[in-house]
Amino acid sequence: MTIWTLPERPARGPKPVYSRAQITEAAIRVADAEGLEAATMRRVAAEIGTGAMSLYRYVPSRDDLLELMADRLTGELDLAGVPSGDWRADLTRYADELRAMWRRHPWIGGVRRSLPGLGPNQLVLIERLMGVLDPHVPIDENLGLVALLNGYVEGVVREEIGAAEQLRRSGLSEPEWMARSHAHVDRLVKSGDHPIFTKIVTEARRPHLSRDDQFRHGLRRVLDCVAAALPPAT
């Protein structure tokens, strides 16, 4: 049994004072301000002005609360009009939307689910996103290509979030943080013992691009891989 199979209004007992949507929004506010670990049942109950035990009347467990939160964030992805018939434009739009959502709510990376969510927003996403490639490839191939895209976006945004957190903890600006490692990098390059690392430092183009440009550069390569898996003239 999941939160989606349970009625929001119990058949018996007093009339509900709160809705699941209100509770979910309160939990997201707490997570945005204080991190996912802070969004406990007790803390969320305090946010809406009730006791923790009262909250369990609406949401049976914290895992259920996390499922509600994840579905709510999925609803932030603007995929109206997808699929449009232009699969590359659709997947680019989805990747941009997903990255932006993760950056607004970095704690989403801490929500672990063993199975895909079956909430209303997540089901809409499945229909829209999987519908992009559905005319072109079998469903198993479709799932694999979407997983490839999701893996790329998640990997990039986790690195971005981690770097931002590292900067925050250091109290330095990004140029100051980079400058701090320059002496060590120079010694490694001058040693001659690390030729590939030296190429990365001295010749690589991507590290000198903005984060947005780096993301888009990598995304084009991922979509090229998707294109290679599609039938000709798709």
For position 176, what pLDDT does the model report? 76
| Residue reference for tokens 């406990």 | 40
CA distance 84 to 64: 34
- Helices 62-74 & 20-34, crossing angle to 10 degrees? 90
Confidence of residue 193 (pLDDT cuts 50, 70, 90): very high
CA distance 173 to 126: 40
3-class secondary structure, 23:
helix
Residue 165 vs residue 104, higher pLDDT = 104
CA distance 105 to 137: 33
Position 112 pLDDT exceeds 80: no
Cα 14–Cα 17–Cα 20 angle in degrees, nearest 5:
115
* pLDDT tens figures, 6-50: 887 666 666 778 899 999 999 999 999 999 999 999 999 999 999
CA distance 39 to 45: 10
For position 6, what pLDDT does the model report? 87
Q: Model's pTM, two decimal places? A: 0.88
Residue 182 vs residue 223, higher pLDDT = 223
Please provide the average confidence, as pLDDT, over all residues in the chain.
Answer: 90
CA distance 114 to 218: 28
Residues 98-114, mean pLDDT to the nearest whole number = 90
**Which among 133-137, 157-161, 166-170 has the top mean pLDDT?**
133-137
Distances (CA, A) of 13 to 21, 50, 54, 92: 20, 17, 12, 48
CA distance 213 to 206: 8
* pLDDT tens figures, 52-68: 888 998 999 999 999 99
Among candidate residues 63, 52, 45, 77, the one with its CA nearest the CA of residue 111: 63
Position 97 pLDDT exceeds 90: yes
Confidence of residue 155 (pLDDT cuts 50, 70, 90): very high
**CATH numbers and ranges of domains, the chain:** 3-74 (1.10.10.60), 87-229 (1.10.357.10)
In this structure, are residues 64 and 4 in contact, taking their beta carbons and an 8 Å threshold?
A: no
Confidence of residue 232 (pLDDT cuts 50, 70, 90): confident
For position 200, what pLDDT does the model report? 85
